[in-house]
Amino acid sequence: MREFKIAEPRTADELAALLAESAEPVALMAGGTDILDELKSGVATASLVIDLDKVAGLRGIGKEKGGLRIGAMTRVVELADDATVAAEYPSLKQAALSLATPQLRNSGTVGGNLCQRPRCWYYRDPQVVCRKKGGFNCYAYQGRNKYHAIFGGSGCFIVYPSDLAPALISLGAQATIGTAKGDKVAPLEAFYAGPDADATRENVLAKGQFLKSVWVPAPKAGQKAAYVKLKERGTWDFALVSAAVAGVVEAGAFKEIAIVMGGVAPVPWRAKKAEDALRGKPVTEAVIRQAADEVLKDAAPLRENGYKTGLVFAALKRAVLAVV
Ligand SMILES: Cc1cc2nc3c(=O)[nH]c(=O)nc-3n(C[C@H](O)[C@H](O)[C@H](O)COP(=O)(O)OP(=O)(O)OC[C@H]3O[C@@H](n4cnc5c(N)ncnc54)[C@H](O)[C@@H]3O)c2cc1C
């Protein structure tokens, strides 16, 4: 492991100033469950690691402006155990409990989960300089691509691995980004950016910026939501395909609906065409099939991951039926 210095800022302002002023390569460390592996393998290189653990105000869950504010340093286990989350945002609890292992949920944070780097085996190989590392090729495109993207690949076919992101986006979450010039608030959906924007990153954080918290609006009257994750193994695993569905149902039909899929694209994938196909119609298996077919019109499976198209229908069906 290469040597690095550690900084332990105590306030968000100190953190923002440190990030903005640092001339050397910097890595943020939250729970450290992923970044330490990346530093050890040499996939991440940083001479300064900034530990977020002692930054005041980044941890905790609390009511704010009618909704729920979740600090970036909140542990995933705290989210899964929170009584308000269980009562008002059950799909978020399902997503939190679906991810990784109890040990990782104890140490891993919400911010770390939302900002984690992809699991693509070419990216994770320190010998490979792929597009995500500033190279010219995506080796998954013509290589081994069983776990890769079927939507939105365009030159880099990673899938975004977070389980919390689809659930939070389907609930209308907003992200608060800390900067040296003050906080910025944006929909969490717009926090993520695909390879079209910049293949070396997965989000819009610029130098000097960090994720401070997310805020989820109060549930609407009659709102229901579910998160369904399809995995290769019964024990811990990343999603092959997941579906977060949130909506308001009246007389067996969706009056409002948001669908966000995981495991299928370099960003959490908003399935607007499926939303349009489902909105206002009595939900039947045929309508769900039609909704899946609509969203799959944009799919471009690779050599080894065509099976994911079937899982899109299966995940969507289970999540929609759990809600209506
Ligand atoms: C074996 C294993 C299985 C896993 N399974 C799943 C799974 O099924 N589903 C899933 O969703 N995840 C899974 N994960 C990922 C796990 O949830 C992440 O390791 C964890 O969420 C990262 O949290 P952390 O706090 O430890 O982040 P760290 O490791 O500290 O950081 C992760 C990344 O986020 C950046 N970062 C952290 N906090 C911030 C912030 N506030 N602002 C900006 N950047 C930040 C860091 O710089 C780093 O790049 C798995 C991980 C492992 C090792």
Q: What confidence category does residue 154 fall into, taking pLDDT thresholds of 50, 70 and 90?
A: confident
pLDDT at 217: 98
What tens digit of pLDDT does each residue of 267-302 get? 999 999 999 999 999 999 999 999 999 999 999 999
Alpha-carbon gap, residue 198 to 124, rounded angstroms: 18
Is the CB of 169 within 6 Å of ligand 1?
no
Distance 285 CA to ligand 1 centre (A): 36
Is the CB of 163 within 6 Å of ligand 1?
yes
Nearest to 320 by CA among 268, 264, 247: 247
Q: Are strands 26-29 and 48-51 parallel, antiparallel or unpaired?
A: parallel
Is the CB of 104 within 6 Å of ligand 1?
yes
Q: Are strands 223-230 and 61-64 parallel, antiparallel or unpaired?
A: unpaired
Three-class SS of residue 196? helix
pLDDT at 1 over 90: no
Residue that the structure tokens 């705290």 belong to:
78
User: Facing residues of 67 across strands?
Assistant: 64
- Nearest-5° Cα angle at 219, 96 to 288: 75
pLDDT at 2 over 90: no
**The residue count for the chain:** 324
Is the CB of 112 within 6 Å of ligand 1?
yes
Tokens of 196: 């079209």
C-beta separation of 72 from 66 below 8 A: no
Q: Tell which atom from ligand 1 comes closest to the C-alpha of 239.
A: 8
Residue to substitute in 99, 124, 177 for testing ligand 1 pocket (most ligand atoms within 8 angstroms of CB): 99
Cut 0.95: pTM above it: yes
User: Facing residues of 28 across strands?
Assistant: 50
Residue type, 316: L
For 131-142, letters b (16+ CB in 10 Å) and e give bbeeeeebbbbe
